[in-house]
Amino acid sequence: MPLDQFEIDTYELTIDPRDRSTTRTIRIDSTPFFSGIRNRAFLNFYRPGDVPTQLGWAFNVGGLNRNGITVVASMDVESYDDIYTTIQSESPVFFRYGYASSGFPPTTRQLTEFAVTTEPEPPGEGPGEESAELAIRAFIAHGQLDPDEVQPSMAGCDGREELEALADADSEAEYEELLP
């Protein structure tokens, strides 16, 4: 069973609550080949109980590929948040897929597996303490958090006066000056 993957270059979301079976679709496109051709996948998320028994299909496999390979994958809507978050926040991100060795028509193959993957990363990569401090500062500056409810150290501030200055910032430029 052949296995292939492509790096995700772009993605597009479709959320249609009126659709009776699929609730969300993520279309992902590969980085373009030297010819400009891209592979593409449609990740269809179904309501519980409506997920097709087939994992999906790979089209234009082994053909001339003037249009690239198109994969249509089916899964439960419960997988949506994890997959969307990975595509949105990681880099690089890949779409890996496997398909049957033969099919009918000859360029259409049944999927045997698929996954959204990343490259190996060292442990500990993720939002650091500075990210939390900057988020707290932004919430205060934009009036979404009362500075009296925050300890100055939580925002990376030396004292209550610095928190009050954030809350009193009248412009984005003034706010930017208060950042560490």
- pLDDT tens sequence across 136-170: 767 677 677 777 776 777 667 777 777 677 667 66
On whether both 109 and 156 belong to a single domain, the answer is: no
Q: Is 148 part of a structural domain of the chain?
A: yes
Which pLDDT band holds residue 28 (cuts at 50, 70, 90)?
very high
State the residue range of the domain holding 110: 3-118
Residue 22 sits at φ, ψ, to 5 deg, of -85, 140
Residue 89 sits at φ, ψ, to 5 deg, of -110, -15
Give yes or no for a contact between 4 and 97, defined as CB atoms under 8 angstroms apart: yes
Helix locations, 40-171, DSSP H: 80-89, 129-141, 160-168
Average pLDDT value for residue range 61-82: 88
Q: Is 180 part of a structural domain of the chain?
A: no
DSSP state of 3: E
On whether both 90 and 60 belong to a single domain, the answer is: yes
Q: What is the DSSP string of 5-65?
A: EEEEEEEEEEE-TT-SSEEEEEEEEEPPPTTS---EEEEEEE-TT---SS-EEEESTTS--
Q: Is 178 part of a structural domain of the chain?
A: no
On whether both 99 and 34 belong to a single domain, the answer is: yes
On whether both 85 and 157 belong to a single domain, the answer is: no
On whether both 36 and 104 belong to a single domain, the answer is: yes
Of the chain, the percentage scoring pLDDT greater than 70 comes to 78
- pTM for this entry: 0.68
The yes-or-no verdict on residue 127 having pLDDT over 60 is no
Highest-confidence segment of 44-48, 120-124, 165-169: 44-48
The number of folded domains in the chain is 2
* Rounded distance between C-alpha atoms, residue 39 and residue 37, angstroms: 7
pLDDT for 2 equals 85
Pick the residue with more confidence: 156 or 174? Answer: 156
pLDDT for 137 equals 67
The yes-or-no verdict on residue 171 having pLDDT over 80 is no
On whether both 73 and 138 belong to a single domain, the answer is: no
* Rounded distance between C-alpha atoms, residue 12 and residue 18, angstroms: 18
β 40-46/70-76 pair status: parallel
On whether both 110 and 38 belong to a single domain, the answer is: yes
On whether both 87 and 136 belong to a single domain, the answer is: no
Peptide bond into 92 cis (omega under 30): yes
Q: Is 157 part of a structural domain of the chain?
A: yes
Cα–Cα distances in angstroms (integers) from residue 52 to residues 21, 56, 74, 156, 164, in the given order: 10, 8, 7, 51, 56
On whether both 109 and 71 belong to a single domain, the answer is: yes
Residues in the chain: 180
